[in-house]
Structure 1
């Protein structure tokens, strides 16, 4: 019996065309070619041919949808949808420092300052977003990609102070650094600052603007820093392979991909799901300011091992994920506090579902609206099933950028709050909270918890961030201090735990 490939080649040579309509195999052949013997063979191999054609269609779609490098012809590339929204917010001067993303590393040991500076410069040369400024041409924002440059790495020596003085001063300096605004039309969206606490103790703070990076990028950056710094210290070339594409290639691809059928099928789902979406009205301690503020604080959360074990058992039994189970509990809490049955929260999704963008530093993260109707006094198992259904549907329609959704749904816009949702829920990978990387002759730890201080910026009314740590679940609840008192949120957190 001929192999399927040979059989199909033979048919093609006789000008027999085969194609799929849904699940049905269609066939067109010149007169006299389809002998009864050939018809029997086709009938016998029908399922095999259908499977082959489906795979071929998938491969073709995959090839057509591959993100390819754009021609660099001097025309500045467009912004991605996510960047456009941030650019608009920045232009309106609405965000203060809410979109600054600090990465704070505590380094103990023998630091090679020159190698560190060289490594940061190599990362900037590798990733275009870190050397991109933004401008407008005829009212349309564009990316201006600059050639590689030498990043300043100022060193501030605090080693003369007593330990308690140094800690206070450091918190002050880190806060000041984080409050410093980027001028996106002029400044590269990355800064770095080194503080020396003792002969062998340093704090490195790298600040990115969100327009050039996201949470995932803050794990790519230290991993690359680790690889390049190690190579530089040992006088070896960088071991990192060349990047297949750059962020600008993604921005152009995204504009072309999200059109026609792809766009309409994704949009139709969201339009139906979020039609007349009610705003979640949580009772606040203070009236909402006319213009949204970003002043925040955080309250730690700790779900002990015994309870975590029960949550995991329930998750397994119900065939859900940890994210779904924790979200279902949070939605019940929000419903009780607000007295509302319709609960929508936003959840960030990495949006890195293509291998070619996994290693890039850039702003890919997308927000999904998780909307669940809790009407009819459901049991928790029923709530969990509803949340599971919502989450699976949302993941199936995750390609549509949140910004495009807002543009199409046109919810009532207000300077006082985020459109579509004001509460965020996220379960992070523990890797994202503590990226694993090392530097030669140095002990490294992510210092954000230790040096965070009381103040933080928040972009929403309320944000619940959780991540598994060993047998427990840890996290924090960030809240807008212009809306809520610490006491209110502590009470809410204790009800959640």
Structure 2
């Protein structure tokens, strides 16, 4: 997946030039699929999933097509019609081939005007996702579960002075990294400073004894990852660079979640490498992107939020008669709340990775569908509950122009896995598939709005409605530095030190490298022992493999 925006055919077309002829629409759908999937050729009947498609890429396809046809194209149109020809047919205005109408689907995806030019002070309200993070931060400013951390081991001819200049360039480029937050007349606003304020620390430890240097590294990294960021004074990011040997460095970057999500990480470090290369060559800084996070804020406030009242009942209906309580077996211990988090990481067996990677081609389901079904089965086995609510992070980047922007776009959706009456895996998968389609189609609907509508029992220190989450991480990881820069790096996502939920399952490695897929479970040590979570992880992978196998057998029999 590329982190930059992909050109949209006829992206600024007027209503008079919207394609309607079947041949034109096939040309458009073919071009969009080719560019989003990053393949040189797409034939009319090539399968989206067989070409590497997933739910995240389906969102990108739907966003581009919405811009071209000047009406909202739901993600389900891409998932249910996974070829250029079928997709063009469903976009055709011919009778019987219309896209299913949902809340706001007929409205053209309007684009907010650009914000003030760089160099001026920008004040904006918060998005729905940012408001939730801000409220949690206001209750406990010392919490560290909203720190997005990235760690790199760098080897080669890396220049700390160039790195500092490159980071400043990245902060100047992305207004999210120049943002502070304050109260203004009872409303929280975000203020984008015109000039970058950076926190970049560099320590050369090569003169120290090896044992002493190791202790310094451990302490500095602990402080870097465990010290909260001040959102009022800024900056919302912090960089630590340690030189541990003549050609070896440790780079630790912390960004607050209120201005950054998982997708943003790849964008951030792609831009860092570009800025590093430009600095080395003496080239000018890249200009700020045409689309900024301020534009997204205005779009949500002025356009997308108008859809939410009409979506409320549609979303809430899925949770009628729900069971809020998930009786997980716990082994309580006293743990400091700011240290109540740890990770268990397990490799996904190659055969399970291969089955999961090919599930779309076999069944037309995204990877989220079998992953969610398997987690429902696991939670049923360990809790005895056959009606399970699971939080699912969704990208929220439904417009093409959002793709190269650093910011908080991700939203928390809620999925319901009902095992009662599902006598076999294919029936359960079909039920979960419908749930996933609803999750993707309503992915901008704020989680807090759903909580307000459902009015569940709340518990201090706990996320309402859910105790468990599942993320299928299909977004790109930071790219490797190009050979010409003279250094290489290895990226890692450090373990969580404070968990937002009781259990958070994450499947990593969405690309073709199936053997590299891994499962991470973030958990609360105050509730579970590590050995217990490891056992659950192993059981989950067994369930996932059996779900994929059952789906394949069912399709073969059909």
Tell me the TM-score normalised to structure 1 length. 0.81
Q: Which residue of 2 aligns with 1:386?
A: 431
Larger Rg: 1
Change (3 A) 1:92 1:398: same
2:338–2:498 contact (8 Å) kept in structure 1? no
Does residue 335 of the first structure (1) align with residue 343 of the second (2)? no
1:224-243 alignment to 2 at 5 Å? 224-238=271-285, 240=286, 242-243=288-289
2:533 aligned counterpart, secondary structure: helix
Q: Which residue of 2 aligns with 1:29?
A: none
Structure 1 Cα separation of the partners of residues 116 and 208 of structure 2: 54
Deviation at 1:310?
4.0
Q: Which residue of 2 aligns with 1:406?
A: 451
Q: Any stretches of 5+ residues in structure 1 without a counterpart?
A: 7-45
Change (3 A) 1:79 1:237: same
2:427 aligned counterpart, secondary structure: helix
Q: Which residue of 2 aligns with 1:460?
A: 501
Does residue 476 of the first structure (1) align with residue 545 of the second (2)? no
Q: Which residue of 1 aligns with 2:40?
A: none
293, 306, 312: which one pairs with 1:247? 293
Q: Which residue of 1 aligns with 2:332?
A: 286
Deviation at 1:182?
1.4
Structure 2 Cα separation of the partners of residues 441 and 170 of structure 1: 25
1:456 aligned counterpart, secondary structure: coil
Q: Any stretches of 5+ residues in structure 2 without a counterpart?
A: 1-15, 18-91, 542-558
Q: Tell me whether 396-405 or 165-174 shows the greater mean CA deviation.
A: 165-174
Structure 1 Cα separation of the partners of residues 363 and 106 of structure 2: 37
Q: Which residue of 1 aligns with 2:420?
A: 375
Does residue 267 of the first structure (1) align with residue 308 of the second (2)? no
1:462–1:480 contact (8 Å) kept in structure 2? yes
Structure 2 Cα separation of the partners of residues 417 and 425 of structure 1: 17
1:283-362 alignment to 2 at 5 Å? 283-286=329-332, 295-312=340-357, 316-362=361-407
2:108 aligned counterpart, secondary structure: helix
Does residue 492 of the first structure (1) align with residue 536 of the second (2)? yes
Change (3 A) 1:323 1:162: farther
Question: In the TM superposition, what whole-angstrom CA distance separates every residue of 1:385-409 from its partner, at most 9, and x where no partner exists?
Answer: 1111100111111121223322333
Deviation at 1:47?
6.8
Change (3 A) 1:70 1:231: closer
Structure 1 Cα separation of the partners of residues 250 and 397 of structure 2: 30
Q: Which residue of 1 aligns with 2:246?
A: 199
Question: In the TM superposition, what whole-angstrom CA distance separates every residue of 1:68-117 from its partner, at most 9, and x where no partner exists?
Answer: 22468977210111111111111111661111112222221122222211
Structure 2 Cα separation of the partners of residues 486 and 253 of structure 1: 44
Would you tell me which structure has more strand in proportion to its own residues?
A: 1
Structure 2 Cα separation of the partners of residues 294 and 284 of structure 1: 18
Q: Which residue of 2 aligns with 1:114?
A: 161
Structure 2 Cα separation of the partners of residues 152 and 182 of structure 1: 11
1:192–1:207 contact (8 Å) kept in structure 2? yes
Change (3 A) 1:123 1:80: same
Aligned-CA RMSD value: 3.1
Structure 1 Cα separation of the partners of residues 474 and 137 of structure 2: 30
Count of paired positions: 443
Does residue 92 of the first structure (1) align with residue 168 of the second (2)? no
1:62 aligned counterpart, secondary structure: coil
Structure 2 Cα separation of the partners of residues 337 and 174 of structure 1: 36
Deviation at 1:431?
2.5
Q: Which residue of 1 aligns with 2:264?
A: 217
Q: Which residue of 1 aligns with 2:37?
A: none
Deviation at 1:159?
2.0
Change (3 A) 1:430 1:382: same
Structure 2 Cα separation of the partners of residues 437 and 409 of structure 1: 47
2:507–2:520 contact (8 Å) kept in structure 1? yes
2:308 aligned counterpart, secondary structure: helix
Question: In the TM superposition, what whole-angstrom CA distance separates every residue of 1:360-412 from its partner, at most 9, and x where no partner exists?
Answer: 11111111111121102521222111111100111111121223322333322
